[in-house]
Amino acid sequence: MDASTAGPLPGQDAAHPHGQYGRAAKWFHWITLGLMLVALPTGFVIKFITGEADGAYKMGFYAIHESAGLTILFAAIARIAWKVRHPPPPHPADLPPMMRKAAAATHHGLYALLILQPLMGFFMTNAFGFPMQGRTAYLGFIDLPKFMEPSEGLANALSWGHTIGGYLFVVLLVAHIGGAVFHHAIRRDGTLMRML
């Protein structure tokens, strides 16, 4: 069905000629971004924190990073469940097929990482023998049960995957933000405005 003949789109108005995302979808999007702005930087700098006698400062970074990551997982699951029942507005009818494919690939990659990255981190900490308890409890006060005995081989494999996932997250975020800026500044097609 052609978008121009399908009738009014959800949230369509003068400022959003191609429709817009619903309020809940916008909240999920911006909350997730905020959590990622906490999880990514803390994750990248943890390994450089050394020289403490008791490790309290480093444990603080782990607590923040792991709590943000696990909250991202919960938000992503809720967001996907919401999206199944509330599909996003369609792309503008004149969007070239290659741009549709690039947008779909970027979004699918981000959704996959929003699930896989926190899971890898969560099981990695368990495999290293540091479940989210005590100084690294979820949100600072919720001790989560230990899911496995320490396993150095599994922990190292998960650590490698988690590190690669972190860098891939940055690449996809740059692509996503770059695409939004391109649509807004170059194509001027209202794509960015659908999420505002």
Answer whether 73's CB lies under 8 Å from 114's CB: yes
Residue 171 falls inside a structural domain: yes
| pLDDT value of residue 55 | 76
| pLDDT value of residue 140 | 92
Alpha helices in the chain (DSSP H): 23-45, 56-85, 97-127, 152-182
The CATH number given to whatever domain includes residue 156 is 1.20.950.20
| pLDDT value of residue 18 | 63
Residue 12 falls inside a structural domain: no
Question: What residues make up the domain containing 139?
Answer: 23-195
| pLDDT value of residue 1 | 40
Mean pLDDT by 10 residues, the chain (196 residues): 49 62 92 96 90 77 95 96 88 86 95 97 95 93 92 96 96 94 84 82
> What's the one-letter identity of residue 77?
I
Specify the number of domains making up the chain: 1
Please state the pTM of the whole predicted model. 0.86
